[in-house]
Structure 1
């Protein structure tokens, strides 16, 4: 029997890895720099944003700089940092991921995670499904208030073992985190990195359009939670219906490494380690929201926490270092993916085609009705988001151009801001140019094509909700005063 099945397995087509997909996109974008005319907008420094923003109507052709083979090879390197100015692009996020891996490695070495999972499963027996809406509400809150994105990478290694132990699968855990925070960003209410920056660049306050974004957030969150809960219940009832069923044994071995007898013993030391574990994440959220922290401070926090956990658990210097290095090694592939994803934007900017794409959007919306205008703006932002996955970067790039165009179409600028926020949030649930998406899938060991197969029905429903909300708000909201 094995001899008859093995050839079929070998002949089965295998979807390319995330590394191959991203590098292929770099090659494609480099090829486009030979085809798409080069151009740039004039830029002025915005004191409010502290960044340079493009000036509407100032687009002009510039000398082309098509990207060649050498540029393609250097793009993944330049994705980590600018080789001329040495300004960080992704090296800070990648280092954060490695230190998170080290921290998780140290905590795992204490046995606290496996023991805590066993205790949680006993307490939640029969009610595990309600973890999903509770956790997705927390992640959505982070997404809608401060744009929780890279920070979510720290939670995968914590939640995936819990979900697998509850007889769900790794994809369920990935969906809870990625869709939970992602739908919050999609319905950004007061997100400083999305709606606040975009509103300022559009010349309106972030309170304008807040009610509409709250409605979109509530509707999209409810639909997303129901979607994930339905999939989770189906997998638990019949594990063969899991989209990653072929990886079930490997994932259980990878994420549930402790023996059952070890995991069943929950000691006082385990309790202290888990409290410190939770406090570390709480301090991280506090630091980002109120303390102005970013990657350097968060990395320092997890490094200090790893040392403290090692001291409390009395791991000893050798075991502490080995556990940290081993944990970081587990996430090395994720760190490399992050730099590779940023390399796509590097090639676009170097080839001077980013502004050309934006200019095509600016000139393509003239003469449309108000409802058609806002829906076209939404799809323009969807297209731009594939190339500029950073919400703040896209806001600074597109709002100074597209918001003034709304005046001519008699559409309120806050609707353009909402169209931007929802489009960017929608794309960042699936785009392979996002380090958050590709990094989360890599940690969860979920192939990219399985994620697309899982999420596409949800994307259709969410898109219909957003488009209906934008169209209705445009009709009922009146014209700018």
Structure 2
């Protein structure tokens, strides 16, 4: 499966005096940033920090107060294509890791296990009232924090809407309890290889380490989101005219799906679930005890996909064809990583990346530590508007944020946390989000109606994120 951050870039039409303005494709934005990086090599003074290997962590760290000017080496326009290719080559381990994981998740998705589980939960709790909201949120959060489910949730939105309407709520409630569940899981990213995994690999810290705090964040986000949706759902049930999508309910409310037609659990679905749970347990062991990195993780996922395929009675050719389909669908996200690496290549070859880091460190050095980490958090949130690929955002910003964190005495784990929260929390309001726009298209909810419903919750989410990055800094997470 793919994450929203790895799905195709979705342009957002904005009408202005009869003309449609669209957000440029993410590839265009990244390449413009490569060009801007080249311009910086002519403007900024060249300089470098001394770097040494930390005896305790084994990480390559920046030596404070070691910045010194070096000979200028501006990058010409003619060398930019080579820098982009060098970025792809340099990030090849991450690029192929994404291809493999995307292919494997497509194998898992093709088994119908997720649809079957959603159908089973829906039928079981169909008449349980408001309890269905936290249950669905929790269910889809599992998809978010393990396999990075995001854009795929649009396929389950009709189930959520059908259940919500049957219980006296509206399409907005049904859409929210599916989509926001995946969003909270994706943001918490306990075992998400696409955001946390790649950011931690760039930061040179153990893959999926620090999971305990991310688990707490997930629980807090789920509780806050559950109460918010429940409050809205109760209001709608008491007074249907108070629904934000009241016009849609008048037109579509009578339409529903037959719950008995939903997929039922079969033997291969149970076997797939067991294999995935056992596999992720094995993954945690390998990462924590054996120090698995990109190559080992890629091999693990490849083996898991083959096992799941055979458990579903797929032949080798079927497994291969599903794998290729998944890898094909995830090409956008894989290439984004390589293109974003081109930015770093240009800054490194021009000897100005450390000049950027040094300048930022000087700017924030005398600020209180909580202001520093909040600045990192909001910087990532703003960058997420322009770079909608989570892996691309990590590849673009983490090479700058990691040495900055070293200089201002913020832990690298906290820097990763600031990235993942800044990357994930705003996805459910950005019109460039494939998950959001796809789900709204399926549900027939207007974007402005969704914004009216969601913006107070977004504020709550952002505050929660800010509190957690401050806490992480205080405890030296």
Partner of 1:344: 343
Q: 1:57 aligns with which of 53, 57, 65?
A: 65
Q: For structure 1, list consecutive stretches of 5 or more residues without a partner in the other structure.
A: 1-6, 83-88, 140-148, 199-205, 208-212, 246-258, 404-415, 433-437, 475-481
Q: Verify the 8 A CA contact 1:36 1:353 in the aligned structure 2.
A: yes
Q: Verify the 8 A CA contact 2:373 2:418 in the aligned structure 1.
A: no
Q: What is the deviation of 1:40?
A: 0.7
Q: 2:134 aligns with which of 122, 130, 137?
A: 130
Q: What is the rounded CA distance, in whole Å, between the counterparts of 1:443 and 1:296 in structure 2? A: 29
Q: What is the rounded CA distance, in whole Å, between the counterparts of 1:80 and 1:261 in structure 2? A: 48
Q: What is the rounded CA distance, in whole Å, between the counterparts of 2:215 and 2:48 in structure 1? A: 35
Partner of 1:172: 180
Secondary structure of 2:408's partner? helix
* Change over 3 Å in CA distance of 1:264–1:358 after alignment to 2: closer
Partner of 2:291: 292
Partner of 2:117: 116
Partner of 1:107: 108
Q: What is the rounded CA distance, in whole Å, between the counterparts of 2:97 and 2:436 in structure 1? A: 17
Q: 1:68 aligns with which of 69, 73, 76?
A: 76
Q: What is the deviation of 1:9?
A: 13
Partner of 2:30: 22
Q: What is the rounded CA distance, in whole Å, between the counterparts of 1:397 and 1:429 in structure 2? A: 19
1:94 aligns with 2:98: no
Comparing 272-281 with 377-386, greater Cα deviation is found at: 377-386
Partner of 1:40: 48
* Change over 3 Å in CA distance of 1:322–1:232 after alignment to 2: farther
Q: What is the deviation of 1:155?
A: 4.5
1:277 aligns with 2:276: yes
Q: What is the deviation of 1:396?
A: 5.9
TM-score by length of 1: 0.63
Partner of 1:374: 369
Q: 1:465 aligns with which of 460, 464, 467?
A: 467
Q: What is the rounded CA distance, in whole Å, between the counterparts of 2:42 and 2:438 in structure 1? A: 35
Q: What is the rounded CA distance, in whole Å, between the counterparts of 2:268 and 2:261 in structure 1? A: 14
Q: 1:401 aligns with which of 404, 407, 410?
A: 407
Q: Verify the 8 A CA contact 2:48 2:70 in the aligned structure 1.
A: yes
Q: What is the rounded CA distance, in whole Å, between the counterparts of 1:62 and 1:441 in structure 2? A: 42
Q: What is the rounded CA distance, in whole Å, between the counterparts of 1:172 and 1:381 in structure 2? A: 24
Q: What is the rounded CA distance, in whole Å, between the counterparts of 1:42 and 1:14 in structure 2? A: 43
Q: What is the deviation of 1:61?
A: 0.9
Secondary structure of 1:53's partner? strand
Q: What is the deviation of 1:36?
A: 1.5
Q: What is the rounded CA distance, in whole Å, between the counterparts of 2:182 and 2:345 in structure 1? A: 28
Q: 2:189 aligns with which of 177, 181, 191?
A: 181
Partner of 1:356: 355
Secondary structure of 1:264's partner? coil
Q: 1:425 aligns with which of 409, 417, 421?
A: 417
TM-score by length of 2: 0.63
* Change over 3 Å in CA distance of 1:44–1:307 after alignment to 2: closer
Q: What is the deviation of 1:229?
A: 6.0
Q: Verify the 8 A CA contact 2:188 2:421 in the aligned structure 1.
A: no
Q: What is the deviation of 1:74?
A: 3.4
Q: Verify the 8 A CA contact 2:137 2:180 in the aligned structure 1.
A: no
* Change over 3 Å in CA distance of 1:298–1:469 after alignment to 2: closer
- Aligned length in residues: 394
Q: What is the deviation of 1:322?
A: 1.5
Q: What is the deviation of 1:323?
A: 1.8
1:31 aligns with 2:39: yes
Comparing 10-19 with 227-236, greater Cα deviation is found at: 227-236
Q: What is the rounded CA distance, in whole Å, between the counterparts of 2:466 and 2:301 in structure 1? A: 40
Q: What is the deviation of 1:154?
A: 4.6
Over residues 65-117 of structure 1, what are the superposed CA-to-partner deviations in whole Å (9 max), with x where a residue is unaligned? 223334432344333333xxxxxx3x223322222222233234433333333
Task: Say what the alpha-carbon RMSD is for the aligned residues.
Answer: 5.2
Secondary structure of 1:57's partner? coil
Q: What is the rounded CA distance, in whole Å, between the counterparts of 2:226 and 2:41 in structure 1? A: 40
Q: What is the rounded CA distance, in whole Å, between the counterparts of 1:469 and 1:107 in structure 2? A: 37
Secondary structure of 2:89's partner? coil
Q: What is the rounded CA distance, in whole Å, between the counterparts of 2:402 and 2:148 in structure 1? A: 28
1:316 aligns with 2:315: yes
Q: Verify the 8 A CA contact 1:361 1:380 in the aligned structure 2.
A: no
Q: For structure 2, list consecutive stretches of 5 or more residues without a partner in the other structure.
A: 1-14, 162-173, 249-257, 384-391, 425-429, 440-446
Secondary structure of 1:44's partner? strand
Partner of 1:248: none
Q: What is the rounded CA distance, in whole Å, between the counterparts of 1:456 and 1:374 in structure 2? A: 25
* Change over 3 Å in CA distance of 1:379–1:68 after alignment to 2: farther
Q: Verify the 8 A CA contact 1:159 1:173 in the aligned structure 2.
A: no
Partner of 2:301: 302
Q: Verify the 8 A CA contact 1:287 1:293 in the aligned structure 2.
A: yes
Partner of 1:80: 88
* Change over 3 Å in CA distance of 1:322–1:62 after alignment to 2: same
Secondary structure of 1:297's partner? helix
